[in-house]
Amino acid sequence: MSSEPGLSSPRLPAPPARLTGAALFLDLDGVLAPLAPTPDAVVPEPRRTATIERVTRALDGRVAVVSGRTLAEIDRIVGGAARAASGVHGLERRRADGALTARKPAPSVRAALAAFAAFADARPGVIVEDKGLSAGLHFRQAPDHAEAALAMATALANETGLALQPGAMVLELKTPGADKGTAVAAFMAEPPFAGATPVMVGDDLTDEAGFLAAAALGGFGVLVGPERPTAARYRLEGVGAVLDWLGGLAAAATDEETRA
């Protein structure tokens, strides 16, 4: 991975404690919420919801959750705090004004779900997730099956034309045509994000497209978690550090407004 264009060796500093004119794009799992054994094990948490609401107010609405989760799951986990959000790796999106856009699911997603279900039936601990626009195969509880899962999903991607999206102990076959980078770019072309400095905060390979999009638009990425080759410019240690940083940004923005 270190040889891929746009990726550099880490040793990254913490992001700035103050950001003027920023627009925040926040991944969910591993960034705003701890990773869990199963997708539905991630539940709402008051501090998370309050922090998102606070930083959204402080940045005049320039905050969006950009996740592989569906919009419905994003709303469940953040307690409805995300006015703007993108789900299923950019395939569905809710603008800050509430308008919804979504791609049509590729017909072959159903075939991928059936193949994933057959794979999971023979392997306890492997979970299939139907996102409508994509099929997910989770093996966090069965890591010994990771190699077989990747081989099967790669073959399916070649057969169906679906996009293979690796994640943290999950593989997705999704309707092609969008990713987290296209979601960031779309938000940045609309109010209230237009003209701001984009900052993408993410933890895994699915977020690299968002880091690159933010950099291309004059901003930067923030990697969350262990050091690794990445297109991000800064790093935070984990979910707690992210929530602390967001709270500090909100406080700093409020202080600047008060002084003005």
Of 241, 170, 256, the residue nearest 15 (C-alpha): 241
First to last CA, the chain: 46
Residue 165 in tokens? 């999206």
List the structure tokens of 136: 């997910």
Catalytic residue among 27, 179, 204, 207: 27
Which positions ≥6 away from 159 have C-beta within 8 Å?
none
For residue 144, indicate whether it is catalytic: no
Q: To which residue do tokens 């709303």 refer?
A: 75
Closest to 254 measured CA to CA, from 84, 107, 58, 90 = 58
Q: Where are the alpha helices (DSSP H) in the chain?
A: 46-58, 71-78, 108-121, 146-160, 180-188, 208-216, 239-259
Beta bridge partners of 172: 136, 165
Which of 103-114 are b and which e, b meaning 16 or more Cβ less than 10 Å from the residue's Cβ?
bebbebbebbbe
Active site residues: 27
